Amino acid sequence: MISRRQFLKHSARGLTLVAAGTYVPAFLARTARAATPDKDGNILVVIQLSGGNDGLNTVVPFADDLYYQARPSLGLAADATLKIDAHSGLHPAFAPLKAEFDAGHFSIVQNVGYPNPNRSHFKSMEIWHTGSPGLSQNRGWLGRYFDAQCSGVAPRERNGRIGVSFGKVMPQALRNDANVGLALDDPDTFQWNASGETLALAREQKAIFERINAPGGAASFDTLASLGGVGSEPAALDFLRHTALNAIGAGDDIRAILRKQKNEGPYPDSQLASQLGMISRLISGDFPARVYYASQGGFDTHANQPESHRRLLGDLSSSLSAFLKDLRQHRQHDRVIVMAFSEFGRRVAENGSTGTDHGAAAPVFLFGEKVKGGLHGPPPDLANLIDGDVRHTVDFRQVYTTLLEDWLRTPARGIFPERFEKISLI
Amino acid sequence: MWRAGFGCTWSEARKISRDGLDAAVNALLAPRPAPDRPPCAAPPEESDRAFRERIERLENEEERGRLSNERRKTEREHIEDLQFWWLQRMVATGLPPEQHGPLIEKLALFWHGHFASSFEDKIERVFPLWQQNQTWRRLALAPFPKLLDACIRDPAMLVWLDNAESHAGHPNENLARELMELFSTGVGPYEEKDVQESARALTGYGVDRDDWSFHFRENQHDSDGKTFFGQTGKWDGGDIVRIICEQPATGRFVMRKLLEFFVMSQVQPETVETLGDEFRESGYDLTRFLGTLFRSEYFYSAAARVSVVKSPAVLAVGALKCMHAGLPAPEVLLSALRLMGQSLFFPPDVNGWPGGASWISSNTLLIRYNFANFLLHGVSPDEFKMFDREAAGSGAARREFIEKQRTDLAVAWHPKKQLKETGQLSRMATGGTLVDYYATRFLQRPLPPALERELLKFAETDAAGGRRSFSVNDANFDERVCDLVHLIMSSPEYQLC
C-alpha cells in the first residue's frame, strides 16, 4: 500500500510540470505544500519564557549559603525542593517534570548567557532572538536557518522548511529573507473571508478571489525583479500571489489537521497548554514544519514573586509534561526536542518587595527522548558575580550551535559568523 | 497620487485630470502652515520631575506603584489617540490650497521611518513624539542637513538613542553611530574612530525633562579638538552634521531611500549614484528634486509602474480616501495596522520599517486582504473568524448570522447615496460601468484584463448565483458594491502602487 507520504512526494514531482502553466488549481498547490523531502526530520519546539525567569529559584543551589544570605525571604529551603543532586533541587512546582528528569529526558544547561549582559527586556530578547549581540541584525537565528535551508529552492518547494509560531506577531527569531514561516494566534483567523450576503455570492466571491491570486510561474520577489518581471507584468504581483496562496493553503492545512488530530491525555487550561496542544496535533498530523515557537509571559517578577513564580512554573511544567506524554502516545517523541529559554535570569539578591530585579545568566532547559538528560555545568558561582548577577559560563550560541548541528543537521557556520563550541547535549 | 500621497478621492482625481500634471505637482509642493496641536498631545499638566518628586514623598509603596502605573496607562491611551489623529490627518489630505497636501504627510511618514523613534521602551511619553512628528512635518521639504540638525536636537531622539545623559569623559556612542549608519552615510565610509569622535562632539546635547525641550548642557560638552572624516577642529554637533553632509555617501544613501519609498522597490545603483550626487550638489534641494521626479519619464516608466509595495498606512489611508466616507472606529483601524506591521510611533527598531517586500508575509497579507471587511463591517481583526460567511449556511440562520455582524464601528459608506450626490448614479447602467468606475477609483490604470474579467463576472452574478448583472435598483446595491470593493482590495494589484 502506498503511504500518504510517498503519494505526496510523487505528486510533488508531477506538479513541477503543472506549475509551469499559468494557473495551479488550489487543491494541487495544497498537495505540493504538504510534500517535502524532510518530513520525517527532527523538530525543534522553542518555548520563550518572557520577562526573565528566576533561574536561581527554578534550579535551586541549596548547598550554597550565599543563596540564603542573598534571599532571606525568597530562598527555598533544601527540603522544599525536588533534589536532583547534592547541590541542586528543582522548584516544587516542577514536580510533573521531575519524572522526565529522572528518566533522562530533561537536560539543564547551567549559567547560560552572553558577554556584557544587557538588562533591558527588549534588547536582551533581541540578542537571544538574533543571536548577535552588538550587531544590527534583522533576521533571527532560526530565520537564518530557514534561509540556509531555502537557498536555491523554488518558493513553492520551500514550505516544508517553514516554522510556525503561535502568537500575533512573528518572533524576531524566525524572521527570514525567504519569506517562509507562519505566525498564528488562532488558526481560525488564518483565512480569507468572503463577504457575500448569500451563500452563492460568497462562494462566487471566494472562487474569484482564488483566481485573481493564482500564481503564474514559480519565482521569488528578488529573482523576478532582476529578470524584469514575467512578460509585461510587474514582478511583485507574482510574489504577492504566491504569498497569498501559501498563507491560505497553509491555513487550510493547519485547520484540517487540527480538526482531524486528537490530543492524547489531559492538558491543563492555559494559553501555553493550548499552544503546545496544537503543536502536538500538527506534528502527529505530519504538518511539515521543522520549528515551532510557543511562549509564556509573566516572568518579570519584581514584586510578590513566590506566588506568581509558583503559578508560572506550575503552568510550564504541567503543560510541558502533558505535551511530552502526548507525543509519546503518538510515537513522535523521538523526533522532537523542546528548548525553553528566557531573556535573562534575575538579580541574585532579592529586592525590597519580595521580588527580584533583572539579572544576567540563567539555566536553559531541553526536553526530549534524544537529549542527554541531567545537569550540564556547575551551579552558579554566587561568590563571583557580575554587578550582582550570575556570570555566564555557557554562551547561549553554544546551545544554538549544538541544536543546529546535532539536531537540525545544519552547519552553524552560515548562521553565526563566529564559531561556538558545542556542548554534549544530544 | 498613490505614490506622492495616499491615493485620492474622486473629486481630487477629476481636478487633476482637468488641471493637468504641472498644476498638480505645483500644488503638492506648495508649502502649507503646520497643523494645530492635536488634543491628546499636550504635555501632562504635572511635569515628569514634579510627578517623581510627588510620588517619592509617598510612604506607601503600593500607592506609589499604582500612581506610576496609572500615569503610564494614560500615556499609552494617549499615544493611540495620537496615532489615530495622524491617520485622520492623512485621510483628510487633498490638493492645496483648499486642503493640506498629501505630500507633506507622506514625507512626514518617510522621515518618521527614516529617523525612527519608538514610544516603547525609553520614551513612553506622547508629547515628545508629537513634537518630533511636528518637526518632520514642518521640515518635510527642507534640505537634508536641516533635518539631520533637527535630529540631533530632537528631545525624543536624544532620549531614544541614549544621548540625553552623554557627557564629556563618558560619551555614549549610540546616537553618533546611528546618525551615520542609519540616518546619513550608511555603513562603510566611516571608521570606529569617527563614531567615537562624533560621540564626543554630541556630549552635552540633552533634554530638559520638565518641558521636553532641547537643552544644551555646556559644562558636559566636550569642547576639545576632534578629528572627524579627516577634518580636525573643536567640532560640535552642528559641525558633525555639516561634515556628514559633505560626504557623497550621504547624498546617495538618502537618495536610495527616497527612490525606494517613492518610485520602486529595487533601484539601480547607477541611478542612485547619479541622482544622489546631483541631490547633494544642489544643497539637498528636496523641493526641486521631487518637482523634477514627479514630472519625469522615469517616474511613469514601465519599470516604476506598480512596483512599490504600499505600506500599511498608505494601504489603509488610501482605502479610506477612495471611499471618502470618514473613518471607522479607532480600534478597528489601529489593530489592523498593528497586525499589518505598522503601528505609527512604534517602529520595530531604530532602523525603521524595512519596507518593500518585507511588508508582505503570510500573516500580514491575509490581514491586508481582509482589511475591506474590517472597514466595511466594523469587525476588529481579533474577532474576524466570526466573519466566515462562506461557512454561515443559508436561509434564516444565515440572515441572523449576518445581522449579528453589523456593528457601529464600521465606516459609514453608502455608495448609492454617494453616487446620487455626485450626479453619477444615472451613468451606472451596467455591471461593466460599475466595475470600471470602482476599479478606477481604487486601482491604477490600466486595469489588467484578467482582473477586469473576474470582477465583471462577480458584478454579473446575482444573489442566487445566476447570471444577472446587479443594478442601482437592487435593494442590496450598497452591499454588492462593498463586496466588489472587498475583491478589488484583495487583489495583488491593490497592494502595489
Which of the residue ranges A95-99, B82-86, B406-410 would you say has the lowest mean pLDDT? Answer: B406-410
Interface test with B, best of A198, A203, A230, A301 (most B CBs within 10 A): A198
CB B21 within 8 A of CB B295: yes
**Whole-angstrom Cα distance, residue B408 to residue B401?**
16
B405 within 8 A of B419, measured Cβ to Cβ: no
pLDDT tens digits for range A57-69 = 999 999 999 999 9
User: Across residues A164-185, what is the average pLDDT?
Assistant: 77
pLDDT band with cut points at 50, 70 and 90 for residue B362: confident
Structure letter (DSSP) for residue B443: S
Among B117, B315, B335, B389, pick the best mutation site for testing chain A contact (most A Cβ within 10 A): B389
Range A393-404 average pLDDT: 98
B366 to chain A, minimum CA–CA distance in Å? 6
State phi, psi for B17 to the nearest 5 degrees. -70, -25
Binning pLDDT at 50, 70 and 90, where does residue B444 land?
confident
What is the sign of the dihedral through the CA atoms of B153, B159, B163 and B165?
Answer: positive
Of the candidates A391, A367, A369, the residue with the CA atom closest to the CA atom of residue A380: A391
A207 touches B at CB < 8 Å = no
Q: pLDDT per residue over B407-431, tens digit each?
A: 788 899 999 999 999 899 998 888 8
Contacts of B401 in chain A (CB under 8 A): none
Distance between A116 CA and the closest CA of chain B, angstroms: 16
- pLDDT mean over A115-128: 87
Predicted local confidence at residue A13, as pLDDT: 27
Give the burial string for B411-430 (b: 16+ CB within 10 Å, else e). bebebbebbeeeeebeebee
> Given pLDDT bands bounded at 50, 70 and 90, which one contains residue B100?
confident
pLDDT of residue A159: 55
Q: Which residues contact B410 (CB under 8 A, 6 or more apart)?
A: B328, B329, B332, B375, B376, B377, B378
Using a CB–CB cutoff of 8 Å, tell me whether B377 touches chain A.
Answer: yes
Closest chain A CA to residue B384? A189
Distance from CA of B121 to the nearest CA of A (A): 7
B-facing residues of A in 270-309 (CB < 8 A) are 303
Q: Is the pLDDT of residue A163 over 90?
A: no
Q: State whether residue B355 sits within 8 Å of chain A by CB.
A: no
Compare CB distances from A209 to B61, B463, B490 and report the shortest one's residue. Answer: B490
Determine the Cα–Cα distance for residues B65 and B51; give it in Å rounded to an integer: 12
Write the CB contacts of B293 (distance below 8 Å, at least 6 apart in sequence).
B262, B263, B299
Task: Give contacts of A191 with chain B, Cβ < 8 Å.
Answer: 366, 388
Question: In chain A, what residues touch B351 (CB-CB under 8 Å)?
Answer: 136, 138
Q: What is the mean pLDDT of chain B?
A: 90
Task: Tell me which chain A residue has its CA closest to the CA of residue B382.
Answer: A189
List CB contacts of B66: < 8 A, sequence separation 6 or more: none
C-alpha cell at B492: 495583488
Q: How near does any CA of chain B get to the CA of A196, in Å?
A: 6
Dihedrals phi, psi of B261, to nearest 5 degrees: -80, -40
B185 interface with A at CB cutoff 8 Å: no
CA distance A121 to chain B (A): 9
pLDDT in tens, A285-344: 988 889 999 999 999 898 889 999 999 999 999 999 999 999 999 999 999 999 999 999
Residues ≥6 apart with Cβ < 8 Å to B222: B167, B168, B169, B171, B200, B201, B203, B204
H or E element, residue A166: strand A163-166
Q: How confident is the model at residue A208 (pLDDT cuts 50, 70, 90)?
A: very high
Q: CB distance from A63 to chain B under 8 Å?
A: no
CB-count exposure of residue A103 (10 Å: 0-12, 13-18, 19+): exposed
- Closest to B344 in 3D by CA, of B330, B358, B323, B327: B330
Taking an 8 Å cut-off on Cβ atoms, the answer to whether B390 and A136 are in contact is: no
Q: Does B198 touch chain A (CB under 8 A)?
A: no
A133 neighbors A395 (Cβ within 8 angstroms): no
How high is the pLDDT of residue A8? Answer: 30
Residue A7: per-residue pLDDT = 28
| Interface residue of B363, B371, B470 to substitute, partner A, most A CBs within 10 Å | B363
Separation CA B111–CA A330 (nearest Å):
54
Poorest-confidence range of A63-72, A266-275, B98-107?
A: B98-107
Closest Cβ opposite residue A186 in set B362, B385, B461: B385
Residue A252: the pLDDT is 83
Q: For residue range B114-148, what is the model confidence (pLDDT) as tens digits? A: 999 999 878 989 999 999 999 999 999 999 999 99
Would the CB atoms of A202 and B357 count as touching at under 8 Å? no
Which chain A positions have a beta carbon within 8 Å of B461's beta carbon? 200-201, 204
Is residue B351 within 8 angstroms of chain A, CB to CB?
A: yes
At residue B279 the predicted structure's pLDDT band, cuts being 50, 70 and 90, is very high
Q: What is the mean pLDDT of residues A245-251?
A: 79
Q: Is B394 on the interface with A (CB under 8 A)?
A: yes
Q: Is A191 in CB contact (< 8 Å) with chain B?
A: yes
* Contact across the interface for A235 and B363, Cβ inside 8 Å: no
Cβ–Cβ below 8 Å for A248 and B360: no
